[in-house]
Amino acid sequence: MSVAPTSGTNADLSAIATFDELVVKQTRRGWCQEMLCGCEAKTEFNVIDPKSKNKVFYILEESSFCIRLCCGTARPFTMNMHVGEDGDGPLFATFDKPFTCVQPGPCKCCCKHHIIANSTDGTRIGKTEEGFYVCVPSLDVYESGSKQYSIEKGGCCPCAVFEFCAQPFVIKDTSGSTVGEVNKKFGGWQELFTDADTFQVKFPSGAGDGAKVNLIASVMLLNQLFFESDKDKDQMGGAPPKENEEMER
């Protein structure tokens, strides 16, 4: 499937218009750093069209080694999203997450982590932040200052987000109706040794270009809060303590 034409070094948001579903796959970039140094590497994602199997977007985190080492999953970062297979493609959008002093945990009532999606000219597309929850993770997605969607843990066990399992999340509109999905897929053997996660995003019917970009930003926040591991902790954000050593990295 072709991507919409671009102008200059930046791409218009219409580049995402034709996709009703995308797969966001984290690479194994920095796996040696993760295992030997005990801190997260810069996260890198390929965004794939599941119909054509083509890589249509590329996302790379920009943050310093010291920030990742000291702040872990609470760290600030900027992510640049490009059209194409790598960072040489036209810039499409940026995602900015500020530092939050409280690490992700199994409940949330204040000091909420959030991420802001911006177009290439700096215009804010929307924001995603943690909702109020106890055990059952949820995110609230805003566009133009108004809540547009919520992303909630689904499945038969909504109170647990285990790192090495497939995990369903549902996208709901403001009336509470399920309109889309974010499914965290189990990535196989490489996920046992690195934080290389895979997400399938099914956009709500009729979602605009900005809403789709905003939901991709939501996946970036979802991944950091609930599926990245701080190697010095026995527990991941939003999950109960691991019960046996097999779940340890």
Quick check: is 234 in a domain?
Answer: no
Quick check: is 184 in a domain?
Answer: yes
Quick check: is 131 in a domain?
Answer: yes
pLDDT at 244: 37
Backbone angles phi, psi at 96, to 5 degrees: -115, 125
Task: Write out the residue range of the structural domain in which residue 47 sits.
Answer: 13-229
Quick check: is 243 in a domain?
Answer: no
In this structure, how many other beta carbons lie within 10 angstroms of the beta carbon of residue 32?
A: 11
Contacts of 79 (CB under 8 A, 6+ apart): 43, 59, 60, 61, 62, 94, 95, 96, 97, 220
The most confident of the ranges 88-92, 160-164, 189-193 is 88-92
Instruction: Report pLDDT digits (tens) over 71-124.
Output: 778 789 999 999 999 999 999 999 999 988 776 677 777 788 999 999 999 999
**Stated pTM of the model:** 0.81
Quick check: is 218 in a domain?
Answer: yes
| Mean pLDDT within 56-79 | 86
Quick check: is 235 in a domain?
Answer: no
**Cα–Cα distance for residue pair 45/86, rounded to 1 Å:** 9
The most confident of the ranges 63-67, 113-117, 161-165 is 113-117
Give the bridge partners for 134, in sequence order. 107
Closest CA to 141 of 132, 133, 151: 151
CATH classification of the domain holding 224: 3.20.90
* Number of domains comprising the chain: 1
Backbone angles phi, psi at 189, to 5 degrees: -60, -35
Helix (H, G, I), strand (E, B) or coil at 33: helix
Quick check: is 244 in a domain?
Answer: no
Instruction: Report pLDDT digits (tens) over 216-242.
Output: 999 999 998 888 864 434 333 333 333
Quick check: is 99 in a domain?
Answer: yes
